[in-house]
Every structure is written in C-alpha cells, then in structure tokens.
Amino acid sequence: MLAFILSSIIGLLRQILVANAFGTQSDIEAFNAANRVSETLFNLVAGGALASAFIPTFTGLLTQKQRNEAWRLASAIFNLILLIVSLAALLAAFLAPQIVRYVLAPGFAADPAKESLTVTLLQVMLPSAVIFAVSGLVMGILNSHQVFFIPALAPSMYQIGMIIGVLVLSPRYGIFGLAWGVLIGATLHLALQIPFLVRLKGTYFRELAWENSNVREVGRLMLPRLLGAAAVQINFWVNTRLASQQVEGSVTGIVIAFALMLMPQAAIAQSIAIAAMPTFSAQVALGRMAEMRSSLAASLRSVLLLAVPASLGLILLRTPLTSMLYQRGQFDDRSTELVAWALLWFAAGLVGHSVVEIVSRAFYSMHDTKTPVFLGIGAMGLNIIFSLIFAGAFERMGWLPHGGLALANSLATALEMFALLFVIRRRLNGLESRSLLTASLQALIATLLMCLALWGWLSLTAEKPAWQVVAGGMLIGGIVYLISGWILGVREIKVVYRELSRRLAK
C-alpha cells in the first residue's frame, strides 16, 4: 500500500506537469487517444489477464515444491508473450492510420493535422507494450515469491519516465517528448525489478513448451480472462470514440478523472488484492477453503471501510481538488470543469471497482477465470449501452455528455460487484455476511457524519484558495471518520491503534 501511495503521488505530479504543459488541447487529446492502443495490447496479453492465469499455476508449483517445473513454466510464458506482443505491435504500427480513422477516434477526421499526429504518436509508443509485457510477467513471478514492495513501486518508475519526457524532452520536441517519456518509463518499470528477479536464481529454458501441461493450464485459465480484458478495452475504445465526437477536451477530461479515481482505488484495493492473491492461491492449493473464505471476508471488510469514505470525499472535494492539482499554465477554468464533472460520476463507482478487484482475485485463485470474466463481459456490454444512453441523455439536459460516459462505467461496475458477491458467496458456502454487513453499516454511518462536516467546511471556505479547501477538508473529514468509526466500534481501527501503541511503547 505504501508503494502504491508513493506511485500515486508521483503519478499525480506527472499529471500536474502534463496538464500544465498541454492543458486539454489538441496535442494531448491526440496523445491520450494514441496511448490507448499500447495500453490495450499490454492489458490483453500481459496485464491482468496473464497475472490471473499465471500466478495461481506458478504459485501452486512452488507450494508443491516443483521449483524446476515452475521456472520451466515461467520461461515458456516469457517466450510466448514476447513473440505474440511483438507481432501484435508491428501489426498495429502498420495499420495505425486505419485504426485511428475508423476505430479509435473518427471524430479527429475533421482535423487532419490532429489525426496525423495521433497516428505518429501511436507508432512511436507501441514498443512500450512489448516492454510492459515482459515487466508484467516479472511482477507475477515476484508476487508469487511474496515480494510485493518492489513490483508495486515499479509503476512509479513509469511515471518518472514520463516526468523526464515532459520536463526534459517536451520543451524541445513538444508532445513527442512525452511519447518518448512513455518508452523511458516502460524501460525503468522493467529495470527496477530485474535485480530482484535475478536474486531468485531461477532457471531460464529456451523453449515455447506448447506440450507442457502447466503452459496449457495457463492458456486455459487465460483465454476467458483474455475475453474479459478485451471487453474492458473495447469499452475504453468506445468511450474514446464517443468523447472524440464531443466538445474538445472530453477525451482528456475522462482520462484525467478516471486516473484520479484510480489513485485511491490502487492504494485501497489493488494493494490488498495483490498481497492477498498468492495467499488465496496457496490456501486453495492446500485445500484450506475455510481459511480462504476468512481471508477474503477480512479483505472485503478493509476495502469497504476505506473505499466508502474515499468515494464520498472525492465527490465533495472534486472541484477544489482538480483546481488545486491542475489549474495552471494551459489548464484553465474550462479544463477544471471538464475533469471535475467526469470525476463526480467516476467517484461514485469507487466502491464497486474496489470490491471487484478483490473478489475477482478470489475466483482466479480458485482456478476459475470464467465466472468473473463472463460477468465482466456482461457488465462491459451494459457499460457500452449505458454510455450511449447516458451521453445522449446528458446532452439533452444541457449537461456535458462525457459525464454520462463516467456514470455508465460506475453503474455497470456496481452491477458487476453485486453479481460477483452473489456467486462467490454460493461457491464458498457463505462469506461471513454478518461481519460484512456490519462493516458496511459502520462505514456508511461514519461517512455520512464525515460528509456533514465536509459540507459545513465547504460552505465556510467558498472564497478560500483551493489548496486550503482540500487540505482542511481532508483533515477534518479524516478526523471525523476515525472518531465516528471508533465510537461505532470498528474493530480494524482499534486493531491498528493497539498495534501502533505497542510499537511505540517498544
């Protein structure tokens, strides 16, 4: 969690610098659209799809003391993803003009210079997908060996690469400096992890090992997850396509707002999920399902207690937060309005995104990628339908239509969350429901009290600088929530307090 928070802070600094340099104008719109292709290739082949299939199989072999077979599996997967992603990147570079015009951003066709810039940026950044593919596998190997801090710190290296791009290269090369920063960041992302991979003293095998049963198991688990990842990426492409046809700045508005929502989601849910998945996998491999059920319930309690106040706090502080972070240079009042409006609707989905992150890992640990994937595909299908409906409805009401795209994402994710919880509860013969309900009610009551305090603070500081509003709001909101949680008897707060007291007493 500490590493994710650090990465989020560095990522926030990167966003501030990029917003200051490029605002929400044409160049950054082209960059954000072009970067979608590289992100898609990475997520399809080596992102969550690979991790969810590789970690349970690799961890199972390690748990069963089959070290040689585990490294044979890792070598084969490395060779396969390197080959597949390289070929896919070359094909995407060749078809870049057609991808941009007919699939990714048809709205840019009205501005030939913007469309041409998008194509060139896409081609420049494609090698990053190959580097990230390898780095994603390395992260899975380290996590399986209970090494979490360095892999979680790797994203900050990517952000540092982009900071180098915007500060050092962009003054001379413009938006292309930021594109080269993506390549630098991808390289640093991988380079940070290599020394720790070497320390594991694994054996590399020069083979694809199609006939290896463990490789086939990863493929079997990965195929449905791949379909799910494809559905998510299609949804992102649809949002980019729709936003490209809306007012200028809409693409960047949803990109920045979604990234802001993901910061607390990463610190709260991704950190817990990444740390829990190898434990889930080991418990399943040893047949200890009661322990796995207890571990999952504890993880969900923690997520609910943190995500509920974060969601409401983000909604209430969205405008001063956006203004404080980004409003300078080319990022003006209009840019703040675009981002804050999308953030309002994205923040409403923070709890859903956080719970889905945890529960889906539980399914993957049970060697079941089909259930969360098929539910995810259904949710993403609804997301696309909702996007079309809400964007049109918002426009008819005179609201900025890209807010409808954010609302569609939040609603679809909430439905996915409820479906996953229903199925996993039946699969595990219960989920300590009373404990989870208690945590939900405690979080909700404490959050409502926090919101009342924040509303009072916002009414008193309407004319104050944004940084004072945000800093005071976070301090007051945090104190009110902690005190309320203590009075309500939230056991996690008391456990943390006792542990801190014990360590300080030493």
Whether 383 shows a pLDDT value over 80: the answer reads yes
pLDDT recorded at residue 47: 54
164 in any annotated domain: yes
The residue among 183 and 489 whose pLDDT is bigger is: 183
The reported pTM is 0.72
Q: Give mean pLDDT, residues 325-333.
A: 83
CA 33/CA 119 separation, integer angstroms: 9
SS3 category, 341: helix
Instruction: Say what percent of the chain tops pLDDT 90.
Output: 39
Most distant pair of Cα atoms in the chain: their distance? 68
pLDDT recorded at residue 171: 92
Structure tokens at 307: 């995500």
Instruction: Give me the number of domains the chain comprises.
Output: 1
pLDDT recorded at residue 474: 94
Whether 234 shows a pLDDT value over 80: the answer reads no
Structure tokens at 340: 């804050």
Could you tell me the end-to-end alpha-carbon distance of the chain, in angstroms, rounded to an integer? Answer: 24
Q: Are 187 and 135 in contact (CB under 8 A)?
A: no
CA 447/CA 261 separation, integer angstroms: 18
CA 446/CA 65 separation, integer angstroms: 47
208 in any annotated domain: yes
pLDDT recorded at residue 101: 87
Q: Is 476 exposed, middle or buried (0-12, 13-18, 19+ CB in 10 A)?
A: middle
254 in any annotated domain: no
pLDDT recorded at residue 269: 86
The residue among 444 and 47 whose pLDDT is bigger is: 444
The sign one gets for the Cα dihedral 472, 473, 478, 479 is: positive
pLDDT recorded at residue 394: 93
Among candidate residues 293, 299, 292, 298, the one with its CA nearest the CA of residue 268: 299
240 in any annotated domain: no
Q: What is the pLDDT of residues 208-227, one digit of tens each?
A: 777 788 888 888 777 776 77
Give the angle subtended at the CA of 10 by the CAs of 86 and 400, to the nearest 5°: 85
Amino acid identity, position 276: A
Give the angle subtended at the CA of 31 by the CAs of 26 and 35, to the nearest 5°: 155
Least confident of 35-44, 198-207, 245-254, 384-393: 35-44
Amino acid identity, position 32: N
Give the angle subtended at the CA of 458 by the CAs of 338 and 489, to the nearest 5°: 110
188 in any annotated domain: yes
Q: Are 362 and 427 in contact (CB under 8 A)?
A: no
Phi, psi of 201 (to 5 degrees): 55, 45
142 in any annotated domain: yes
- Which residue has tokens 């009042």? 333
Q: What is the pLDDT of residues 389-405, one digit of tens each?
A: 999 999 999 899 999 99
Q: Are 466 and 324 in contact (CB under 8 A)?
A: yes
The residue among 1 and 288 whose pLDDT is bigger is: 288
Q: What is the pLDDT of residues 252-302, one digit of tens each?
A: 888 889 888 988 888 888 888 888 888 888 888 888 888 888 989 989 998
Give the Cβ contact number of residue 505 at 10 Å.
6
Q: Are 13 and 159 in contact (CB under 8 A)?
A: yes
pLDDT recorded at residue 104: 79
Confidence bin at 229 (pLDDT 50/70/90): low
The sign one gets for the Cα dihedral 185, 38, 94, 227 is: positive
CA 431: distance to chain centroid? 25
pLDDT recorded at residue 225: 66
Q: Are 365 and 54 in contact (CB under 8 A)?
A: no
Whether 447 shows a pLDDT value over 80: the answer reads yes
182 in any annotated domain: yes
For 197-213, the DSSP string reads: HHHTT--------TT-H
pLDDT recorded at residue 49: 58
Q: Is 98 exposed, middle or buried (0-12, 13-18, 19+ CB in 10 A)?
A: exposed
For the chain, what is the mean pLDDT?
A: 87
18 in any annotated domain: no
Q: Give mean pLDDT, residues 53-81.
A: 87
Q: Are 269 and 303 in contact (CB under 8 A)?
A: yes
3-state secondary structure 117-142: HHHHHHHHHCHHHHHHHHHHHHHHHH
Q: Which domain holds residue 196?
A: 26-221
CA 54/CA 291 separation, integer angstroms: 22
Whether 110 shows a pLDDT value over 90: the answer reads no
Among candidate residues 255, 390, 366, 260, the one with its CA nearest the CA of residue 313: 260
pLDDT recorded at residue 21: 87
Q: What is the pLDDT of residues 144-165, one digit of tens each?
A: 888 888 988 888 898 999 999 9
pLDDT recorded at residue 331: 82
Whether 475 shows a pLDDT value over 60: the answer reads yes
CA distances 413 to 43, 237, 257, 346, 493, Å, are 18, 17, 16, 10, 28
pLDDT recorded at residue 228: 67
CB proximity list for 481: less than 8 A, separation 6 or greater: 309, 446, 447, 449, 450
Confidence bin at 94 (pLDDT 50/70/90): very high
Phi, psi of 115 (to 5 degrees): -65, -45
Whether 46 shows a pLDDT value over 60: the answer reads no
